[in-house]
Amino acid sequence: MEQTSLFEVVMSLYRQRKLPELKTILSQLNPADIANIIENAEGRDAIALFRLLPKELATEAFAYIDSEQQEQLILAFTDRELREVIDELFLDDTVDLIEEMPANIVNRILKNTDPKTRAQINELLAYPDDSAGSLMTPEYVYLKPDMTVEESFAKIRAVGVVKETIYTCYVTEERKLVGVVSLLDLLTASYETVIGDIMDTNVISVNTKDDKEVVATTLAKYDLLAIPVVDGENRMVGIVTVDDAIDVLQDENTEDIEKMAAIVPTDKPYFKTGIFETFLKRIPWLLLLMVSATFTGMIITGFESKLAASVVLTAFIPMLMDTGGNAGGQASVTIIRGLSLGDIEKRDVLRVIWKEIRVAVICGATLAVVNFGKMMLIDKLLLGNSAITVTVAAVVCLTMVVAVFIAKIIGCSLPILAKAIGFDPAVMASPFITTIVDAVTLLAYFMIAQALLHI
């Protein structure tokens, strides 16, 4: 609500052409809020509002604006405006921008950067997508082990404003990362102290080739504000800051959740994804899972004559399938999340199965007992379904125990198996597990029915 009214105030001032007041208000806002306003404004209004901003704030806000609106702004920019924005952007943000823009805009951006920056951009663009290298920025503060604290402060004061963080400084020797020193360490040391004496030599770092999820979780695990990125020879090449790590964590969570719900992941917000695009993200799994349901159909067709002899059994197929699916989904999602948080490792597979077996037995038994009571009291007595006998109830309940047992074991082991052979465990979630568990449950149901009901 707040957000809307701020936007409305801005637009109303804009429409009344009260530009001095508007300028004052805009200059008071946070870059993230300004980005929100500009994203919501129409094309020509957006560029007009952007031009009302103080230069520094304009660039800061630009980095927060979504790529569609960024593209619109760049199209309206003069070369001079473009150069000003690109000059002030941090390199990792420029690289993100370039990765999202069409070729003609990329060319314009590169044409408007100085040769040194262009070389750095091209270097960063060469790292594979989703790697630490593509996420990092070379804009960090480095010190030498033989510098004094006083010299370090002089350097930080000189270069600080153009660095993404100054709160952690990296100590390098012949470009190799040898230590790390926090600004707090520097502040509490005397001016004559030598960096080599106070630096922490036990540095947590990641490799340029590491996946960006590894970068984010490592940074989070050690509560860092930035994590250094080194190449194969331990040469320092960049840092990833905590704000970017948070974005990675949130994106990875969204991606996992989408995969678990049988959706092809997208990195766009809901309303930014078109109808057809949304369709394309959802239809592959729907088709695959629909076609694989051929097996359940075949199983039912195979037992058709027996089902005809005991039609009452049909009524419990949905409940058995759903319960099996839910039980398997619980196990798989728990394991997928555990794998992604690092609570569970591949080598834990037997421990996991053993735990799930025990949980499955108690769950299955509880469900079976409740279901037996429900069938005899509600379905038979209350609803008067005379076809339900103790034997029929026993068949359903026994199937329930088997279904939950198998569902939990399949649910917990498939994600670990997927990880072991290099797939993303998240696709082994409920919808996938359900399809397998359905078939197994139906088979068990008909076999138990044959044995107990002699059909």
Pick out residues in 240-299 that bind a second copy (CB under 8 A): 242-243, 245-247, 249-250, 253-254, 256-258, 260-263, 269-271, 275-276, 278-279, 282-283, 285-287, 289-291, 293-294, 296-298
Pick the piece of the chain touching a second copy (CB under 8 A) from 15-23, 77-85, 94-102, 320-328.
320-328
CA 361 to chain centre: 34
Q: One-letter amino acid identity for 81?
A: E
Element (H, E) at 6: helix 2-15
Question: Rule CB under 8 A: is residue 88 a binding residue for a second copy?
Answer: no
The residue from 82, 98, 321, 416 that contacts a second copy (CB under 8 A) is 321
The residue from 133, 338, 415, 425 that contacts a second copy (CB under 8 A) is 338
Q: How many CB atoms lie within 10 A of CB 420?
A: 12
CA-based radius of gyration for the chain? 30
CA 252 to chain centre: 2
- Nearest one of 220, 211, 182, 175 to 199, comparing CA atoms: 182
| Comparison of 279 and 423: residue with beta carbon closer to a second copy | 279
CB 119 → a second copy: shortest distance, Å?
27
Return d(Cα 22, Cα 142) in angstroms, integer: 41
| Comparison of 280 and 390: residue with beta carbon closer to a second copy | 280
| Comparison of 94 and 112: residue with beta carbon closer to a second copy | 94
Q: Are strands 168-173 and 206-207 parallel, antiparallel or unpaired?
A: unpaired
CB 384 → a second copy: shortest distance, Å?
10
Question: Rule CB under 8 A: is residue 52 a binding residue for a second copy?
Answer: no
Return d(Cα 150, Cα 163) in angstroms, integer: 19
Return d(Cα 185, Cα 18) in angstroms, integer: 49
The residue from 430, 436, 440, 446 that contacts a second copy (CB under 8 A) is 430
DSSP state of 128: P
- Count of residues interacting with a second copy (CB under 8 A): 114
CB 109 → a second copy: shortest distance, Å?
23
Pick the piece of the chain touching a second copy (CB under 8 A) from 10-18, 169-177, 342-350, 413-421.
342-350
3-state secondary structure 40-52: HCCHHHHHHHHHH
Give me the count of residues in the chain: 455
Pick the piece of the chain touching a second copy (CB under 8 A) from 91-99, 100-108, 229-237, 376-384.
376-384
Q: Which residue has the tokens 């138990």?
A: 448
CB 257 → a second copy: shortest distance, Å?
5
Question: Rule CB under 8 A: is residue 55 a binding residue for a second copy?
Answer: no
The residue from 322, 376, 389, 417 that contacts a second copy (CB under 8 A) is 322
Element (H, E) at 277: helix 275-292
- For a second copy, what does the binding mask look like between residues 12 and 31, x meaning CB under 8 A? ----------------xxx-
> Nearest 10 degrees: CA dihedral of 369, 375, 378, 379?
170
| Comparison of 47 and 180: residue with beta carbon closer to a second copy | 180
CA atoms within 13 A on the CB side of 19: 8
- Nearest one of 178, 165, 139 to 219, comparing CA atoms: 165
DSSP state of 310: T
CB 295 → a second copy: shortest distance, Å?
9
| Comparison of 146 and 343: residue with beta carbon closer to a second copy | 343
Under rule CB under 8 A, which residues in 379-398 are in contact with a second copy? 379, 383, 385
Question: Rule CB under 8 A: is residue 209 a binding residue for a second copy?
Answer: no
The residue from 184, 350, 377, 390 that contacts a second copy (CB under 8 A) is 184
| Comparison of 49 and 335: residue with beta carbon closer to a second copy | 335
- Nearest one of 143, 144, 74, 138 to 105, comparing CA atoms: 74
Q: How many CB atoms lie within 10 A of CB 2?
A: 7
CB 269 → a second copy: shortest distance, Å?
4
The residue from 7, 142, 167, 372 that contacts a second copy (CB under 8 A) is 167
> Nearest 10 degrees: CA dihedral of 5, 6, 8, 12?
140
Burial bucket for residue 55 (CB in 10 Å: 0-12, 13-18, 19+): exposed
CB 102 → a second copy: shortest distance, Å?
24
Under rule CB under 8 A, which residues in 94-153 are in contact with a second copy? 153
- For a second copy, what does the binding mask look like between residues 343 and 372, x meaning CB under 8 A? xx---x--xx--x--xx--xx--xx--xx-
